[in-house]
Amino acid sequence: MTGLVRRATLFTAVGMVAAGAALAGVPSLGTSTIGNVIQLGGRTNAGVADVKCTKAITVRDAANNVVPNSTVVINFTTCYANEIRIAQPGATWNQNVNCGARTASAVTNASGVASFQVVGGSNITTSGAAGAGEGCASVAADGIPLGNLSVATPDFNAASGGATAPGVDGQDTLIFNGNRWGGAGLYRVRANLIYTTGGPQVIDGQDTLSFNGYRWGGGSGNPNYTGASFCP
């Protein structure tokens, strides 16, 4: 009887080790870090994505080990159903945008980090609706869901089709300030560039600093930043 117990214990231990080995390197929702918001930025005249919109996602397995060479995909399809649009990034940036699938993807480095600089904007000024809600972009690593991100952008009318719409300009400043100080507050999801402890749709000084960086900081403030049309 004692021998049977020992063998059963051994088989259980071996099974646990095998299960742990099978999960090693498999992305885990519980330990990976994606944050709450992704910012969409613009391009410089040279066609390089604005570094101010850099987004880092860290992929870990169930044992909290980082997972290198994992393909991370951000899917904007639900956001597209409302008003968000993305475009191809600069040629120097190591990520892939699939216009047909409305996704951006990148591969994690040795530290398990996938970095994105997604070029895009909104066309909410052409609609009476507030646009895409919180968490419209889904994130997956190697096909395993890791959660959702809200989409923010300083360029509220980038994809509206107007000749002067691309680029962060005075109209965007007026819309942002309306969300910052009340009144025209329909677009707080878009204006919440920095997610703080205040929670979703709380527009504060950190968001203002971030917006001003886009407005006056070069790449996204360039009226010709898109370099090509937005993905349909």
Predicted pLDDT of residue 149: 97
Q: What is the pTM of this model?
A: 0.85
Instruction: Inform me whether the pLDDT recorded for 3 exceeds 90.
Output: no
DSSP letter for each residue of the chain: -HHHHHHHHHHHHHHHHHHHHHHTT---TTT-B--SEEE-B-B-TTSPBPGGGEEEEE-B-TTS-B-TT-EEEEE-HHHHTTTEEEE---TTS--EEETTTTEEEEE--TTSEEEEE-EEEE-GGG-SS--S-TT-EEEEETTEEEEEEEEE-S-TTTTS--TT-SS--HHHHHHHHHHHHSSS-TTHHHH--S--TT-TT---HHHHHHHHHHHHSSTTT-TTTTSSPPP-
Predicted pLDDT of residue 21: 47
Average the pLDDT over 49-75 and give the result: 95
**Better-scored residue on pLDDT, 163 or 93:** 93
**Better-scored residue on pLDDT, 57 or 179:** 57
| pLDDT, averaged across the chain | 82
Average the pLDDT over 9-36 and give the result: 69
pLDDT band at 77 (very low <50, low <70, confident <90, very high): very high
Tens-place pLDDT, residues 109-161: 999 999 999 988 887 755 555 678 899 999 999 999 999 999 999 988 876 65
What are the residue ranges spanned by the domains of the chain? 23-216
